[in-house]
Amino acid sequence: MAIEYVFQLCTTTPVQAFAHLEGKSSTGLLTTVRPDGRANLVLVEPELSVGFRFDKIAEPEPQYAELVRTVVRLLADEPGDAMLQQDFERILLLRRGTDVQLGDIWLWSNPEWLALIPSPYTRRPMPYPEDC
């Protein structure tokens, strides 16, 4: 079974502006971009959904590094509310306005990846969606 994550973003930027993200990278990470618009229990109306699917055969660490870099770049470029989640079970990152919260999970134990996250941020357990 493949590992998958979804980054959802409330933005007014047209989805086509993110098409350059799509495809399979040299790390094996497959990235997809699609319009969203479905309200969920965390974000009111995310307009963009970026999917990340890990290659089962490729090394996972470079794929995680690419996922983190892509999400951080999107956070820097787009000011809207955002969420990175896995399987609608765990929230890894949540931004509402300027408030950034990181899930208290192993992903953020890598100091190189954590250093990419804009400060200030808080860390706490964030199951989906009860604790949001």
Q: How does pLDDT run across 69-112, given as a tens digit for each residue? A: 999 999 999 999 999 999 878 899 999 999 999 998 888 889 99
Residues 6 or more apart in contact with residue 107 via CB below 8 angstroms = 64, 68, 92, 113
Q: Which residues pair with 24 in a beta bridge?
A: 30
pLDDT, tens digit, 9 for 90 and up, residues 24-65: 999 999 999 999 987 777 887 789 999 999 999 999 999 999
**Four-point Cα dihedral 104, 107, 108, 111, nearest 10:** 150
- CA dist 2 and 53 (Å) reads 7
Fold of 4-124: Alpha-Beta Plaits (3.30.70)
The pLDDT of 122-126, averaged and rounded, is: 89
| 26/54 Cα distance (integer angstroms) | 12
Per-residue pLDDT, 132: 44
Q: Which of helix, strand or coil describes residue 42?
A: coil
